[in-house]
A and B are shown apart, each in its own frame.
Chain A
Amino acid sequence: MKLKLKSFNSLIRNKTAKKIRNLLNIKPSHLLFDYSKTGYSVSDGFFWRVDSDFKTIFKYSDILNIFYGEKTSKVLILIYDDKFNLIKTHQNNHIRDHNSLVIDQEFLKIEKGFGSFFIFHETARNLNTNIRNSCYTGYSFKNSLPSFVHGNLHSASKSFTGNKIEFGLGASSVYKKYIYQVQNNMEFDKTEIILINNCNSKINIDLNFLVTELDIGQTKIIDTKDNNIVKIKSNSMLIRPIIFNYRNNYIDVYHG
């Protein structure tokens, strides 16, 4: 009986079942990761920005060593521009328990840009588990103390041993719009909303009546102008932004 229940749970948690559940609106799932399989590293979609004012600091942990004692694990970090073109691959084969990567003009060899990045943990060992990297990204404005925010959006997965990356872990609907209203009052000099499309299809966005689209993996920065409310309508089931608030020369970055 217990075995049957386990098999049933696996069945309804696989990707196809989730898509059917979402189509029929039966216990819809905003996340399409297939929990019936193991041996996968899931990455949040992290945001980077680089220009004369900004650099990005990514702090990440060796999750496989900390939780599973895997001493030979490595990480692969893939950095994409806002149009989802791969612009840099960073492999760390000598990972420490806690690591820091500075993404700046020198590292990317660009003057200015923004986009997304993803981190995958790798090991040759056959580990019967799945992990998620949802670590911490800091944004230093005019060389100030970085304002840190944790990851908030499952976006891509890769097996510990393989090369194939599956992007688009977020679910979207072909017929339904979802509302995500940020639960804060934006009464600042300036507020920027950062959106990364973590779905496997183009998504439509209506942010305070500003209508736009995001193709797979694309990133956008949207200035909220004078609105103190941020209301996002989208066919993405969970379009959860990162927020930059500015006042004088100070910034605050957090997830919505």
Chain B
Amino acid sequence: MNYFFGLSNSIFKSSLTIPKFQNNGHKNDKYSPFEITISNNEWLIKKCNFIEDENFFFLDDDIITNENFFFLSNNEEVDQFNLSKTELYRYNDFTNTQPVNFRSNLRISYKNRGFSSYQSEYPFEMTQKNGNVLSSIFSLLNSNADENYILFRNIFKNPTKKKFNLYLIDIKKKEILNSIDIFSNSSNLIFIDNKYINENTYLLTDNFIGIPIFISLKDNHLSMEHTHPPHHYVISDDKFKVITKLKNEIKAKIIQ
């Protein structure tokens, strides 16, 4: 099961287009978007406001906050799982699709001019895990751009908003270049000074995983894309061993 998220801020407008169909064309007319937010240390789930047509639900920045996220379901399923409000549940399997995940389109736009999007989802399995994200910032940020940002989204199973660190590190020198406070269960938009954009700079998170999304802005044009997790590049059976070793070596030297 997948969740869908956006971001809310004064620079970019964001919108979500959630399809009513799987990518094999199979449709489910019984589902509509529900919104999840944290309220008094519990998950608060409610049917959200949306515009729809025959094929899509449209959620705009009136509905999207940095804390809420969305999933497709119906009242019966939500009531069934709503007994404990301190865990996230796998409400249904409609968004479990293979080989390509069920995705919404997350789009950002700038002053009604440039726009950029990617097919996005936050898999339920990711909400169950702690860990670290390690990713180059050089591949997708642009030192020639006017402004660069990292959008880091975490959704964690428990209804808490906890502070954790996102480090910009020099992977060669194994040094922290900058430490930024970000929050779990949030879309965190981080301005990145162009001085950090070089091939040795990576982002590393401490304790929480999430999706790192990279945004560049120049002359009103936008580019937004996420990086792959490291295990995407190693496709043999040793991939988790190799990635864990690499991360542990870096963590041992950087995060004491």
Contacts and interface: CB of A to CB of B under 8 A. Distances in A.
A216 interface: no
Contacts of A133: 233
B6 to A, nearest CB: 15
Interface string B223-256: 1011110101111101000110010000000000
Interface string A73-90: 000000000000000000
Contact of A131 (B99, B228, B234): B234
Contact of B236 (A129, A147, A149): A129
B25 to A, nearest CB: 4
Contacts of B115: 247, 250, 252
A254 B145 contact: no
Nearest to A152: B100
A59 B13 CA distance: 28
Given A130-B236, A148-B225, A180-B24, A254 B118 contact: yes
Given A148-B223, A185-B56, A185-B105, A96 B199 contact: yes
A135 B139 contact: yes
B92 interface: no
B162 interface: no
B110 to A, nearest CB: 9
Interface stretch (A17-25, A45-53, A61-69, A202-210): A61-69
Contact of B119 (A144, A146, A254): A254
A180 B118 contact: no
A20 B55 CA distance: 36
Interface string B178-214: 0000000000000000000001100000000000001
A1 B242 CA distance: 25
B30 to A, nearest CB: 18
A183 B21 contact: yes
Contacts of A59: 138-140
A254 B225 contact: yes
Interface in A129-155: 129-136, 138, 144-150
A148 B215 CA distance: 10
A138 B223 contact: yes
A183 B140 contact: no
Contacts of A63: 233-234
A103 interface: no
Interface residues of A, number: 53
Contacts of B226: 150
Interface in A31-55: 31, 33, 35, 38, 42
A238 interface: yes
A223 interface: no
Nearest to A28: B99
B49 interface: no
A133 B228 CA distance: 11
Interface in B15-53: 17, 19, 21-25, 53
Given A98-B138, A184-B119, A42 B102 contact: no
B217 interface: yes
23 contacts: A30-B99, A59-B138, A59-B139, A97-B199, A129-B234, A129-B238, A129-B242, A131-B233, A131-B236, A133-B233, A145-B218, A145-B223, A148-B140, A183-B19, A183-B104, A185-B55, A185-B105, A238-B100, A240-B100, A250-B113, A250-B220, A252-B107, A252-B115
Given A67-B230, A144-B221, A252-B222, 5 more contacts: A98-B139, A130-B235, A145-B223, A183-B105, A250-B222
Interface of B: 17, 19, 21-25, 53, 55-56, 58, 99-100, 102-105, 107, 113-119, 136, 138-140, 142, 145, 199-200, 214, 216-223, 225-228, 230, 232-236, 238, 242-243, 246
